[in-house]
Structure 1
């Protein structure tokens, strides 16, 4: 056996396995997201608006710098800015100047926004449980969370 033959085989299998795993992960994510969006429990806010409220609700003071919020949500930066403006107009979030950076903006979840989030979250959790929690056992759910965190660089 030549050196090229021994190193090419495992490398090719690793690449193939990585592509296969990515394809499976991506298709599962799309399928779950489509179902959750279709089953989203309200027309009062959109799935993407809920994502913003969800991310803000997880912060100790229910606020994030806009640039940090952009890193957390599932939308592109220009879309987030427009979405934030709509949420501000409805009183669900507030835009505040960044205390340490005059160019920055802090997005804060209002009490009205938090109440909206909580009301929707209870029903949305039922869809998540049915689509994910009821299909995997507790050990699989733990493994899935650990693997996804590892892929995201959270270990």
Structure 2
């Protein structure tokens, strides 16, 4: 993880900030309440709240009232946030491949994907 976090793409945003953008991007409808988003992150809810404020200040995410619960807010990516997430994501995938791309054969990568999907399904 140290090697990954030291890559140039994480000079713009930290890995944790990128993780927030990535998870917002894959949420159904591109929106999530803070409490729901927090289920997918390795960060405390108070830390996530502060991070959301920083990302909002940078113009990367927006908060809107949740139409189903007036006490809650929904988070979503701004167009700028989506662009930053995609830019960092492309570089991140390239660097991950550089580090582990030759370690497994194509069949082993397929098997790894199947196993991780199975594990993800088991914990959801």
TM bracket, shorter-chain basis: 0.7 to 0.9
Match of 1:47 in 2: 15
| More relative contact order, 1 or 2 (CA 8 Å, 6+ apart) | 2
What SS is found at the alignment partner of 2:29? coil
Residues 59-99 of structure 1: CA deviation (Å, up to 9, x unaligned): 35322121111011232222211111100111100111111
TM-score by length of 1: 0.70
- Give the CA deviation at 1:40: 4.5
**Cα gap change, 1:136 to 1:40, in 2 (>3 Å):** farther
Aligned length: 123
CA–CA distance in structure 2, aligned partners of residues 147 and 154 of structure 1: 13
- Give the CA deviation at 1:138: 1.8
CA–CA distance in structure 2, aligned partners of residues 146 and 76 of structure 1: 30
Which segments of 5 or more consecutive residues in structure 1 lack a partner in the other structure? 1-32
Q: Answer whether contact 1:133 1:141 (CA < 8 A) is retained.
A: no
Which segments of 5 or more consecutive residues in structure 2 lack a partner in the other structure? none
CA–CA distance in structure 1, aligned partners of residues 28 and 65 of structure 2: 18
- Give the CA deviation at 1:133: 2.6
CA–CA distance in structure 2, aligned partners of residues 62 and 134 of structure 1: 33
- Give the CA deviation at 1:126: 0.7
4+ residue runs of structure 1 moved beyond 3 angstroms?
Answer: none
TM-score by length of 2: 0.86
Which of 135, 138, 151 in structure 1 is aligned with 2:103? 135
* Higher Rg of the two aligned structures: 1
Alignment of 1:45-84 (within 5 A): 45-84=13-52
Q: CA RMSD in A?
A: 1.9
Query: Is residue 144 of structure 1 aligned with residue 112 of structure 2?
Result: yes
